[in-house]
Amino acid sequence: MTAAAQTDLHTVRDFIRYAVSRFGAAGLFFGHGSDNAWDEAVYLTLHTLHLPLDRLEPFLDARLLAHEREALLDIYNRRCQERLPAAYLTREAWLGEHRFYVDERVIVPRSFIAELLEDRLAPWIDDPDEVVSALDLCTGSGCLAILAALVFPEAEVDAVDLSPDALAVAERNIADYHLGDRIQLIRSDAFAQLQGRRYDLILSNPPYVDAESVAALPPEYRHEPEMALGSGEDGLDFTRVILREAKKHLNPEGLLVVEIGHNRAVLEEAFPDLPFTWVETAAGGDYVFLLSAADLPE
């Protein structure tokens, strides 16, 4: 099949069509930057050919050189045979216009909190310059810590993770954005190493997949670090820690922002007395909650 493709396919359009067919036949699962075979085929094709990711049309009928055809077939084959998320194949992930290095040491960034940071968490934060301390708990690749530092220019940011591998990736991304003077990496199991530290803002995209869903994850997700996905029987083990500990790490006017996946109903049943504010995102209003320091339990 690969030999025939090398001789019978000629243009970018040919290869994208071929990739979509291959991905469909292989039954791939999407959800690490794209949600369908076409978008993923376009992304992998443009990236591999070192073309602008936002300009497909001018190149659709461009004929490819032999080594370009070989490179495309190789990355399509790896996507189908190894079931690796595209981000692990290209070693990059995008949140809006921001690019981050990723590999199998970290979960592929895809947080809805990044979308909220584009608007500097308005209207819940009136003046971005008044945020002078922030925490990104479960930082992974460091993406939310970096975005927070970019949109809150006066903030010193602590980026916390238990995984030394994840912190190594975060260190690389922080260096790429030249933010080493404002972001401190801390290895900690939740708040354990943060005694005495208080913040104007705490962000967290913690593990939140329940046990039943972890057992049913498609192969693409099983390449990600398990500790970054599962969080107990109902998916709320880590979120419970956050809700128990966050108040003593927030300043009196501080804000807590947490992503919890599909667990809204379970969370509200477990904490019926907490006045969660559910924030509207591109995927709906059930995935990210806000709580002020005053609303958190002692």
Q: Are strands 98-100 and 93-95 parallel, antiparallel or unpaired?
A: antiparallel
**Packing angle, helices 37-48 and 12-26, rounded to 10:** 130
Look up residue 23 and give its amino acid: F
Q: Are strands 277-278 and 288-292 parallel, antiparallel or unpaired?
A: antiparallel
User: What is the structure's pLDDT at 1?
Assistant: 55
Are 56 and 175 within one domain? no
CATH number for the domain including 261? 3.40.50.150
Are 82 and 101 within one domain? no
11 CB-contact burial (10 Å; exposed 0-12 / middle 13-18 / buried 19+): middle
Are 69 and 107 within one domain? no
Q: Which residues contact 28 (CB under 8 A, 6 or more apart)?
A: 37, 40, 79, 80, 83, 220
Are 134 and 7 within one domain? no
The beta strand positions in the chain, using DSSP E, are: 93-95, 98-100, 133-137, 156-161, 183-187, 199-204, 250-259, 277-278, 288-292
Residues of the chain with pLDDT under 70: 1
Are 82 and 121 within one domain? no
Structural domain total, the chain:
2
User: What is the structure's pLDDT at 3?
Assistant: 73
Are 83 and 97 within one domain? no
User: What is the structure's pLDDT at 39?
Assistant: 97
Are 41 and 175 within one domain? no
Are 241 and 99 within one domain? yes
Alpha carbons 9 and 14: distance in angstroms, whole number: 6
- Among residues 265, 261, 259, the alpha carbon closest in space to that of 290 is found at 259
Last residue of a domain, one of 88, 110, 136: 88
User: What is the structure's pLDDT at 138?
Assistant: 97
Tokens of 236: 């709320």
Are 59 and 139 within one domain? no
Last residue of a domain, one of 88, 122, 149: 88
> How does pLDDT run across 223-254, given as a tens digit for each residue?
999 999 999 999 999 999 999 999 999 999 99
Are 70 and 127 within one domain? no
Are 60 and 112 within one domain? no
Domain hosting 48: range is 2-88
Are 52 and 106 within one domain? no
User: What is the structure's pLDDT at 276?
Assistant: 97
Last residue of a domain, one of 59, 88, 117: 88
198, 260, 287 from 279: Cα distances, Å: 24, 12, 8
